[in-house]
Structure 1
């Protein structure tokens, strides 16, 4: 298992990819089998499931056969549904859509909440326009609202729709608001790992004949890709540097999704 794939992250990715279409929960034994295909041992699966349960993302539920299992909580389903709109967005934001601003103030006595708020806005893909003023493409407003309400941080934040009126060109300002070289590096890392995998599948064909391999390659690609639309929140292409690798990495993921997602489901159902 590659370093960037943690057992907890892979479990969330598994539920996101295949757990929502199931009529019931994953049995613990199923989770151990499915994560075992990704070189995660049983104790790591059990401890990760326990942590996800404590975080309120998984809830214990018996399968139809009476086996112990875990289903997604309502909050987890909302998180995954919000994530789908990013992961499978397909195109960057249009400059005409404008921006959403998050303006916050947290009392000094509640510094932990200030840290949580900053870290969560960063994880949602916001850039920093000024101290206490964070900015993102306007299409992220609803997901931001869901997140702040879920974390009970809404009392500290005002959200605004905004248009950039100057004085620097918007493309120049975007370079201050986000660390674009760091985001580009993440796209390049994804391409370095998964573009060769796509070439192999395109050459050998018929992933339905190799469901375990299709499952493994799809889930590891999805696990890494699903973080990228949060680091890079779909900034308008016109505002990004020449040669930006985001479109290429999105095309690679889209192709892998189309080739491997359904064949991988056969292994999950086995």
Structure 2
């Protein structure tokens, strides 16, 4: 593995979750090997495992690197992709989800006595990619009404929420859709996250041994590489190195995608780095699946491989 490449910041807890296999176990030997590559100390890993066991999230059998952790509940949620949103992003990249010019607006007024519920609704709107226009008013370029309604119902706030759509939105003197998007969403910060993801994916592809084919499969202008045939890997990765790449790629992909409102291409700067970063990620993930001696369906692989393979493949 390329010693010169900067390591991705992967929290120890997230690493444990990422290495959960299909049978719900984590091999301690793999955990310590990957942690070492990520420059985590053995003590750091031991303390994290101890906390996870104390919280009831895992049980612990055996000692040291021969131990086995067993998840007592779903343990990959913090790094698993949201399949529906990821597929929508790739549909946008392929030009299959054009914008209809409709803005989706949500207004609510919730009394201070229900502050916790109000905050939860606000957080869900932000998670869904809506942006605040002013106090209690949020806008999205995507039709997220069903998700907002579900959250409002669960919080018993549905009667306090107003749903409306408009093809004519102006904030102050700004009314051009692309300018509105640039003023409402932190596109520069989101683009920087995707640039980091693209750099990581390119570095991983180079280490796998297929750097000569990167640009022939993924043009600088975007376009999904998940349509490519995958091919075999030409590098000599150890299993620990392959697992490390997968964890780093998943962590960086999550960091880039979570704050992304998945605005339609019509509202984004051109070229938009998200399209290219996602295409490179899909190619890299396909090569990682092919890089090891085991089948992608093997119970010995972390569940992460199936989850990402399903939505990126």
TM score, norm. by length of structure 2: 0.63
Tell which deviates more after alignment, 238-247 or 99-108: 99-108
1:127 aligns with 2:131: yes
- Pair 61,110 (structure 1): closer, same or farther in 2 beyond 3 Å: farther
The answer to whether the 8 A contact 2:33-2:240 is kept is no
- RMSD between aligned residues: 3.9
- Pair 25,223 (structure 1): closer, same or farther in 2 beyond 3 Å: same
TM-superposition CA deviations, 1:158-180 (whole Å, max 9, x none): 37463432341211211122111
**Structure with higher helix content:** 1
User: How far off is 1:49 after superposition?
Assistant: 6.0
User: How far off is 1:224 after superposition?
Assistant: 1.3
In structure 1, distance between residues paired with 2:83 and 2:245: 19
Structure with the larger RCO, 1 or 2 (CA within 8 Å, 6+ apart): 2
TM-superposition CA deviations, 1:75-120 (whole Å, max 9, x none): 959x957x12223441324212845444333321333443343334
Long gaps (5+) in structure 1: none
In structure 2, distance between residues paired with 1:140 and 1:61: 41
User: How far off is 1:34 after superposition?
Assistant: 3.1
In structure 2, distance between residues paired with 1:161 and 1:12: 40
In structure 1, distance between residues paired with 2:204 and 2:51: 30
1:158 aligns with 2:161: yes
1:69 aligns with 2:100: no
The answer to whether the 8 A contact 2:30-2:240 is kept is no
Pick from 4, 9, 27 the counterpart of residue 14 of structure 2: 9
Pick from 98, 106, 109 the counterpart of residue 105 of structure 1: 109
- Pair 145,25 (structure 1): closer, same or farther in 2 beyond 3 Å: farther
TM score, norm. by length of structure 1: 0.72
Q: Which has the larger radius of gyration?
A: 2
The aligned residue for residue 234 of structure 2 is 206
User: Alignment length, in residue pairs?
Assistant: 249
